[in-house]
Structure formats: C-alpha cells, structure tokens
Amino acid sequence: MTTPAAKPLEPSPRVLLGPGPSNVHPRVLSALGMPLVGHLDPEFVSLMDEMQGMLRQVFRTENPLTLAVSGTGSAGMEAVVVNVIEPGDKMLVCVNGVFGGRMVDVAQRAGAEVTAIERPWGEVFDPQEVEDAIKKVGPKLVGIVHAETSTGAHQPVQEIARIAHDHGAMIAIDTVTSLAGVPVEIDAWDIDAVYSGTQKCLSCPPGLAPVSFGPRAIEAIKNRKSKVQSWYLDMTMIGRYWGSDRFYHHTAPINMNFALREALALVLEEGLDARFARHALNARALATGLKAMGIDYVTAEGHRLPQLNCVSIPEGVDDLAVRKRLLHDWNVEIGGGLGDLKGRAWRIGLMGYGSRRESVTLVLAALETCLRDSGVSIEPGAALAAAAEVYAEATTATASA
C-alpha cells in the first residue's frame, strides 16, 4: 500500500468571530515566520526585556515579575494557583461560568481547600456576597474571572480586591478574554496575581500566557514551606530565566514570543484607550443590529463584554445547522454555548484585530440570511441599517469633538 503524497498545508481563510482564537494581524503572522535565534541569544534576551516592559504597559502595572509563561491561558491559571497556593491553603473561587469552574479544579489539584460560590451563568458577583463568603472561609486567595468567556459577563473586580485585602486575603484575576479589550488595571485595582492568554484581544495565536505577580504574591511565594508542585510553572525559576540571571529553565518558543512582541507593539501603537473605544463601538453596532433582528443577550444588562457577545438563539433555529452554514458559506466562525448554555446561545467575538466594522457587517448579513431561511421573520436589511446608523453617529460625534 502506498501512502498518498502529502500536499502543502492550506487552511481556509476563516473569519474568526467566536470566543477565540481571533484573527491575527499580518505583522503578527509574519513574525511567526521570521528566522529563529537561540533562546539565550543576546537579541532574544533583549526582546524578552522589551516584552516585559510592554506587558507591564498593557497590564498597567510596575510589577517586576511580569512575563509570558510558555503555554496557553490555562497554563497561566495554573501558574498563578500553584505558586501562590500550598497544599492545605484555603482558596475561595467565584464561579459563574466554565472558567471559574476550571479554577476550582486547578486549585483542588494543587491541594487547596477550595470553597466555591456560584452565580447563575450570565450574571456577575456582588461585592457583598463575596465579602460574606470571605468572612466565613478566611481564604489565603480569592480567584475570580474578570471576563467570563462562556457567558460574556464583565465582572467588576476593584471593590472585591479591596474587600479581600481588608480581610487579609489576596486576589487573583483571570484576564484571558479581557486584556487589551476592556480596561485591566493591575496596580490601580491592587491585584495580587493575574494571568491572560494571547489568542483573544491581543490577537496573537494561542501559545503564551502573560502573567504578573504583585508584592503580596511574591512574598507568599518567597515564604513557601513546600516546593511548587509544578516544576515547569515554578515562577521563581521562570523569573530567573526572564530576569538578569538568564538562568536556563526551558527553551522558550522563540517565534511565539516574536509574535507576541509584535502583537503587543500593535496594541501600544494603537493606544489602550483607543483600543477599548474601538471594541466598545463595534460591540454597540453589533448589538444594535442584532436587536433589529430580535436577538437578545444572555448576559445581564450593564455587564456585557464588548469583545464577547453571548446571545440567545431564536426559538426554532437549529444551532449547529446555522454555525455549519456560516462556516461553509461565509468562512465565518462563531461560538456555540458551553455548559448550561449549550444549544441555547451563540457567542460572537469581536476581539482585537477582529473588532472591525467589516466583521460586524459580515456576521449580521450572514446571520440574517440564515435566520430568514430558518423561518424567522426579519425585515431584510434592518440589521445592517441599524448598525450603519451607529457608525454614522460615531463619525459625527468624532467630527464635532
């Protein structure tokens, strides 16, 4: 039997409008194809320094221990938990979707005594209920997801951080979906540990996890009685690799770091505030267009992420059939619901490079066709007209400012 000759790889040019990964800017893609240098080459070493500075700007922090862990967002989650937590420590985790649930699992595996408090999916936590739980549990660490990708919920964390500190606890936040899409203020909010991922609003392929540890977390790591359970994610060792020692720890994925460097440069060239405003505008246009088609949000009003729009699937519409058709006929990927929302919700991502007027127009037009073909009564063109009005108003407001 002969094996067929392998053909060149030709992935379809998808428009990624789901929960991540998002589309990548051409400059980031070309960084992936740049010539390799060694991971201790002076050029790579200075690139690591440059990236640390850029990550501090994006996280809005002065924390020295700020770097990109080799691994996806889950590696960032694990790095935070296993370094701050020792077996037997108490951790309180706020769960209102898939990723809070994952944090519980990670913390339990790290030997923490975990207490989870829950909120219905799509809702956010009220600081008072977190305070009540902190008083009862007396945790060393409170873990909470800032942008819950499974529901599109935008959790305010500043007040919860203050409460945690008032009761002698630290706070760790998940910013995998929030970073570079909505404000993340590590120093102003006094956050002790944070992790993110590269494939959402940073618009870089998946593969690295930006993290940052503040003074309380560093102190806790220094005072550990036990070794960090994970050799690979031991932040003291990784910190020595990224720090002035350049102590060999592992072979960093060179080209992923090139890509993240370029993605961070794009974020900083645009400016964080301008980037947040762009995400907000495109989300407003999408929401207005969806409303014109009679589509509602799952996420509570006032707590919706502009980069992750979690909406109810209209009655009688086949979730999978629509998503398959979007992919097949328009090359558009949107996400289905997870967990409690499976079959009931779509997740439309407008993240980073993908948060553009073209994305909004394409997804609204494609969805309108699919829904009309599924028998939903929609006035043709109403969604696009409604979205266009939002852009026109924004242009007028900018012109007269």
What is the number of alpha carbons within 13 Å of residue 267 lying toward its C-beta? 31
Determine which helix (DSSP H) or strand (DSSP E) holds 70, and give its type and residue range: strand 65-70
Our CB check for ligand PLP shows the closer of 77 and 388 to be 77
Minimum CB distance to ligand PLP, residue 145 (Å): 5
Minimum CB distance to ligand PLP, residue 357 (Å): 25
Residue numbers of the site for ligand PLP (CB under 6 A)?
Answer: 20, 72-74, 77, 99, 145, 149, 174, 176-177, 197, 206
| Cα–Cα dist 243/163, whole Å | 32
Our CB check for ligand PLP shows the closer of 308 and 388 to be 308
Output the residue with the shortest Cβ distance to ligand PLP: 73
| Cα–Cα dist 192/171, whole Å | 5
Minimum CB distance to ligand PLP, residue 120 (Å): 17
Our CB check for ligand PLP shows the closer of 51 and 147 to be 147
- Token readout for 219 is 């102190």
Our CB check for ligand PLP shows the closer of 121 and 330 to be 121
| Cα–Cα dist 237/233, whole Å | 8
Count of residues in the chain: 401
Q: Cβ atoms within 10 A of the Cβ of 49, count?
A: 12
Determine which helix (DSSP H) or strand (DSSP E) holds 212, and give its type and residue range: strand 208-213
Minimum CB distance to ligand PLP, residue 76 (Å): 7
Our CB check for ligand PLP shows the closer of 196 and 361 to be 196
Our CB check for ligand PLP shows the closer of 69 and 317 to be 69
Minimum CB distance to ligand PLP, residue 77 (Å): 6
Alpha helices (H) in 138-233, listed in sequence order: 158-166, 215-222
Cα–Cα nearest to 73, from 275, 203, 254, 211? 211
Minimum CB distance to ligand PLP, residue 211 (Å): 12
| Cα–Cα dist 146/127, whole Å | 13
